[in-house]
């Protein structure tokens, strides 16, 4: 069964600190992996998209990594800001027209 598991479920960090969110998946055949940021009450916003051949991609203070062999991805946030408080969702796409598989998200709270 295609699944995406994210950890931790929630995380609280101090402003200015770094953090890493994890995403493990069993989706096969793999096509791409996406990280989204969802502010409360808003639609998700794309942070990164990686295909099989890419193992790292950055977007400002966000850096995503992908290990297609172990089927793991991480999202690293550097020098966190209060505005980083949101849910971060990992989404994995399979080949063809099969639906994307969504993780349940990690709820990040950055406090002063």
Q: Which chain residues interact with another protein by CB under 8 A?
A: 31-32, 34, 36, 41-46, 49, 51, 89, 91, 93, 97, 99-100, 102-105, 107
Residue 110's nearest CA partner among 46, 39, 47 is: 39
| Shortest distance (Å) from residue 110 CB to another protein | 18
Which of residues 11 and 15 has its CB atom nearest to another protein in the complex? 11
| Shortest distance (Å) from residue 16 CB to another protein | 26
| Shortest distance (Å) from residue 109 CB to another protein | 13
Which of residues 38 and 78 has its CB atom nearest to another protein in the complex? 38
- Contact yes or no for 62/79 (Cβ under 8 A): no
CA–CA gap between residue 19 and residue 81 (Å, rounded): 11
Identify the H or E element spanning 46: strand 45-51
Neighbour count for residue 75 (Cβ, 10 Å): 25
């Amino acid at each position: 069964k295609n699944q995406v598991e994210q950890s931790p479920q929630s995380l609280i960090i101090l402003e200015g600190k770094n953090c890493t969110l994890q995403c493990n998946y069993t989706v096969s055949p793999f096509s791409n992996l996406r990280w989204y940021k969802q502010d409360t009450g808003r639609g998700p916003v794309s942070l990164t998209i990686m295909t099989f051949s890419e193992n790292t991609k950055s977007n400002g203070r966000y850096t995503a990594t992908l290990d297609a062999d172990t089927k793991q991805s991480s999202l690293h946030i550097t020098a966190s800001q209060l505005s980083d408080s949101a849910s971060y969702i990992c989404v994995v796409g399979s080949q063809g027209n099969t639906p994307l598989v969504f993780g349940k998200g990690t709820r990040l709270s950055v406090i002063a």
